[in-house]
Amino acid sequence: MHVIIYAHPGTESFNHAVLERAIAVFQQRNEPYVIVDLYKLNYNPVLSLEEMNGQSTEDTKLYQALIKNANSILFIFPVWWFRAPAILEGFIDKVFVPGFGYRFKKISGTYGYPKPLLHDKKVLAIITHGAPALPVRTIYINAVKYRFLLGFLSFCFNIFKCRIVQLWSVPFISEAKRENYLRKVERKLQAL
């Protein structure tokens, strides 16, 4: 089963076109999938004190069960202010907690490293940008990609099973370029 974690409020957005293309690919291959549309669900991304202290809500337990039973996880989201939308950031904070997403393995003294607990999952993140690739990859050292990959995915998943596809200058490109991007998404989905 594929779990699609989708974080964009607009149904007319290019992110929604990416979501629709993913659904079409999974349907064509007759593979089961579940969509966690955070905006449509009116997901509350605010981490409560109780949740911070380890008391997961029933919703969080449901999302964790979906992820645990999945073969692959597909994230689809835009970049806003050099990060994922707050609704997705909160979902990550609440769902991928220590004991579910990872645990720390002590090396010595106060040193340890995160041991992924979801290492058997394949992960694909489709990230759309309003900016062109050149300044993001050079001036800003591709901070969005590496923050998501190293600051989140590498903690919870086998980093060698994680792929990130970045789609650039989305508000400014032609329909032909958008279709090329969607075909690229299709090709990447073949690996899931």
Convert the pLDDT of each residue in 74-132 to its tens digit. 999 999 999 999 999 999 999 999 999 999 999 998 999 999 999 999 999 999 999 99
Per-residue pLDDT averaged across 24-42, rounded? 98
Per-residue pLDDT averaged across 165-172, rounded? 97
Can you give the CATH number for the domain in which 12 is found? 3.40.50.360
Q: Are 124 and 74 in contact (CB under 8 A)?
A: yes
State in Å, rounded, how far the first CA of the chain is from the last one. 10
Q: Are 94 and 47 in contact (CB under 8 A)?
A: yes
- Tokens 């050079």 correspond to 138
User: What is the DSSP-derived secondary structure letter of residue 47?
Assistant: P
How many domains would you assign to the chain? Answer: 1
Predicted confidence at residue 78, as pLDDT, reads: 98
**Which residues, in sequence order, are CB contacts of 10 under 8 Å at separation 6+?**
16
Residue type, 83: R
CA 34 to chain centre: 14
> What domain range is 25 assigned to?
2-189
Measured CA to CA, the distance from residue 29 to residue 24 in angstroms comes to: 9
Backbone angles phi, psi at 126, to 5 degrees: -105, 115
User: What is the DSSP-derived secondary structure letter of residue 158?
Assistant: -
- Tokens 């999974």 correspond to 26
Which pair of tokens denotes residue 50?
């109780």
Which pair of tokens denotes residue 9?
């409020």
Name the pTM for this structure.
0.96
pLDDT band, very low/low/confident/very high, at 191 (cuts 50, 70, 90): confident
